Amino acid sequence: MSATSSAKATRNAENRVVVSVKRLFAKESPDYVVMVAMVLFLVIFGLVMVLSSSFVGSALGNDGNFFATFFSQAIWVLVGVPGMLVISRLPPITFKRLAPTGFLLALLFQGLVFSSLGITSGGNTNWVRIAGLSGQPSELLKAALIVWMAAMLANRIDQIFDYRVLLRPLGLGVLLALIMVGLGNDLGTMGVMVMIALGIGFVAGIRLRHLALVVAGVAAAGALMAAFAASRMNRIVTWFSGCAEEDYLTGCWQTVHSTFALGSGGVLGVGLGNSRAKWSWLPEAETDFIFAIVGEELGLVGATLVIASFVVLAVSMVRLVRNQPDPFARFVTAGVMVWLIGQALINIAVVLELLPVLGVPLPFMSVGGSALVSSLAAMGVVMAVNRNGARSVSDYLSRSGSARR
């Protein structure tokens, strides 16, 4: 084959890929397209920042391999993004049918953290290691909880004001999920799951006084958990009272150095790859505190770009919720939005010292395969239930009922 014909074949293949992508989103609403675009942008931008923030720690912990962490995260991106697109093509009724089974399996998977496979890190027992791979089952549990709650509420939409419906089995299921995570001392994940439950409940129309009771109960439980965990209580106390000199090496180290990193970035930053904080000054620079590295290297401009991307993602998902007539699709979209946007707000607030350190990663950007894949899978479900031309769950059930009659 000549060089000319080879180049022509390559161009034809590239054109077919472009046409296929255009067809994939041709019939979708602008909000749908913007939502997907923001997710892909955050994933790609996050991968760049993972490379920049992790190469020092990666070299120290992997026999001089500067790119070990980056390559690991890149593999999860290559798994998660195609997985999201595949999930987005499934019929919405599939997720509703599998919701109970998926939630049960996620609870069982979460239970593995208390077995010999469980790993304790940072005072939390919320990891498992299987066949050399480690992950957080709670990330999968968040996604399963959303789909299960959406299915339960959609099935009981006419009984939404009956508190007995909220308690059995909805309330018991949510409580069980919270207990499973709480037993591992993961207060940050518990907080995110409570936000998810409250967000879906609010969109579903549950009475505010019932939601207020949930908030009060969870606040009391959270206070008790903090009181019986010395390290967590120390972080909360130092956050309230401010960092004294004797706290510098304990409860204040991360927050002080994240603030230093953000402050040193100025407007335009010190330049991509030029962070000083990642040279063992800021622990978890590529995970929970990656936003601090963004602010240091890319300055106020880069930090604002990240925040603006999450804001645009939130607005596009809110518009999808408001325009979605199907209850199941509406609740799923709302739940995933509250999860990802709420978690992003918590992460950024911790970096800005507006909240005590909670160990919550920044969605789509922080290092972590289980968190990334679970988030992208959840977005795939959102894409599926909001896809133009897909038969909604309500439509499917009404047609099935007509056929049986």
* DSSP-assigned letters across all residues of 99-153: HHHHHHHHHHHHHGGGSTTEEEETTEEEEEEETTEEE-HHHHHHHHHHHHHHHHH
CB 306 within 8 A of CB 276: no
Q: Percent helix, strand, coil in the chain (nearest 5)?
A: 75, 5, 25
Q: Which residues, including other chains, have CB under 8 Å from residue 280's CB and lie 6 or more apart?
A: 56, 57, 60
Over range 269-294, report the average pLDDT.
90
Torsion of CA 155, 159, 160, 161, to 10 degrees: -170
Output phi, psi for 133, to 5 deg.
-105, 135
- CB burial class (10 A; 0-12, 13-18, 19+) of residue 148? buried
In 243-368, which ranges are continuous DSSP H helix? 253-265, 290-323, 327-351
How distant, in Å, are the alpha carbons of 55, 78, 349, 364 from that of 372? 19, 11, 20, 6
> In this structure, are residues 14 and 255 in contact, taking their beta carbons and an 8 Å threshold?
no
The CB density around residue 237, as the number of other CB atoms within 10 Å, is: 14
Instruction: Say what the pTM is.
Output: 0.88
At position 108, the amino acid (one-letter code) is: L
Residue 19 is predicted with a pLDDT of 45
pLDDT band of residue 124 (cuts 50, 70, 90) is confident
Four-point Cα dihedral 243, 194, 336, 375, nearest 10: 60
Q: Can you tell me whether residue 389 is helix, strand or coil?
A: coil
Residues linked to residue 133 through DSSP beta bridges, in sequence order:
130
pLDDT digits (tens, 9 = 90+) for 323-351: 999 999 999 999 999 999 999 999 999 99
How high is the pLDDT of residue 18? 47
d(CA 70, CA 50): 6
Pick the closest to residue 288 from 373, 350, 354 (CA basis): 350
φ and ψ of 118, to 5 deg? -70, 150
pLDDT tens digit sequence for 154-201: 998 887 777 776 777 888 899 999 999 988 888 889 999 999 999 999
Q: Which two tokens stand for residue 33?
A: 């397209």
> What H or E segment, with its residue span, contains residue 15?
helix 3-25
Structure confidence by residue, pLDDT tens digits, 226-240: 666 666 666 677 666
Identify the residue with better confidence: 57 or 318: 318
Strands of 133-135's sheet, edge to edge? 118-121, 124-130, 133-135
To the nearest whole number, what is the mean pLDDT of the chain? 86
Mean pLDDT confidence for 203-212: 86
Residue position matching structure tokens 């596009």: 316
DSSP H or E segment with residue 20: helix 3-25
